[in-house]
């Protein structure tokens, strides 16, 4: 069976066998994908071009946008292609790539969110030491550590997953993920699936505890700020990150810790769409709506573009 799987690939779960619904899924996924890509690219461009955003918080936000762009590009284009072409097939190499990059970007995302919590902790609890602790060299090292951590996890778990023998090639999901692949094991090794889930949950729980501890310290210090305006300003820099963390943790918990063994196909699809597409799409929106500096940078960017277009029109006339 391993040789056959390598040659024929895997069969993914299809959204529908009705052609009209397949086209509808393609259009909806295309809109979600384009919205996510444009939103995250806009954040990357703003942080790169606007010198006022050259701070540790926005440096990590730019890295988070890069990870989100990669994250939604793992399975969404393939899902759109399968719906459009009316097929369920994914190659063996394509499945390996999906598993690898899914873990890579997910772990990197979680690591960056943890680092961003530390950044807010230092900014509010130790403001006099902020520039010393969060200097550019330290920020680059932290961001590099987040990406390297994602790479290490991706290599180890992908290698372990595809070292097992598969007795079926029909995956009960619209993309390749470790729990569903382990269920295809010839030995029916559900202990391995449980081990993977427990390990991932332990790492996520450790990061979550660190983030919670950081925010307990942050809120304690914020309450000591004498002025109401000062408290609001401090909280405004933390609220977007806290919402993003909550969204990431909640969707991930729903996907991997809720029992879905006998869940209907539509529920599996909905949960998978929520945790794989919702956070990357919503992160730029959350930061744009709740952050005055991002909104100001957006205004300057589009104002400059409008000015340039007017000047070009005058030159042409």
Domains with residue ranges and CATH for the chain:
2-304 (1.20.1070.10)
Name the stretches of the chain with pLDDT < 50: 1, 3, 305-317
Distance between CA 197 and CA 191 in Å, rounded?
10
Query: Looking at residue 196, what is its pLDDT?
Result: 67
**Cβ atoms of residues 98 and 54 within 8 Å:** no
What token pair was written down for 185? 């094991």
Of 181, 210, 5, whose CA–CA distance to 92 is shortest?
Answer: 5
Query: Looking at residue 305, what is its pLDDT?
Result: 46
């Amino acid at each position: 069976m391993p040789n056959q799987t390598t040659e024929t690939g895997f069969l993914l779960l299809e959204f529908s066998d009705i052609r009209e619904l397949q086209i509808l899924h393609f259009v909806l996924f295309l809109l979600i994908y384009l919205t996510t890509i444009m939103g995250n690219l806009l954040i990357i461009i703003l942080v790169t071009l606007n010198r006022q955003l050259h701070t540790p918080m926005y440096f990590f936000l730019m890295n988070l946008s890069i990870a989100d762009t990669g994250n939604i590009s793992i399975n969404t284009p393939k899902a759109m292609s399968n719906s459009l072409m009316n097929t369920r097939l994914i190659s063996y190499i394509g499945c390996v790539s999906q598993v690898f990059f899914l873990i890579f970007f997910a772990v990197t995302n979680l690591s960056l969110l943890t680092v961003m919590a530390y950044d807010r902790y230092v900014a509010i609890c130790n403001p006099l030491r902020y520039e010393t602790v969060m200097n550019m060299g330290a920020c680059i090292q932290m961001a590099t550590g987040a990406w390297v951590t994602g790479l290490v996890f991706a290599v180890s778990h992908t290698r372990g997953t595809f070292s097992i023998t598969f007795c079926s090639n029909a995956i009960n999901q619209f993309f390749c993920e470790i729990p569903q692949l382990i269920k295809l094991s010839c030995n029916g090794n559900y202990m391995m699936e449980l081990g993977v889930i427990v390990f991932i949950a332990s790492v996520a729980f450790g990061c979550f505890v660190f983030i919670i501890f950081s925010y307990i310290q942050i809120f304690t210090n914020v309450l000591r700020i004498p002025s109401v305006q000062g408290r609001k300003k401090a909280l405004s820099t933390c609220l977007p990150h806290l919402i993003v963390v909550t969204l990431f943790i909640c969707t991930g918990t729903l996907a991997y810790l809720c029992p879905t063994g006998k869940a209907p196909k539509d529920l599996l699809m909905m949960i998978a769409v929520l945790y794989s597409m919702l956070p990357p799409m919503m992160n730029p929106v959350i930061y744009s709506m709740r952050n005055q500096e991002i909104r100001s940078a957006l205004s300057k960017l589009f104002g400059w573009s409008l000015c340039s277009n007017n000047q070009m029109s005058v030159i042409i006339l």
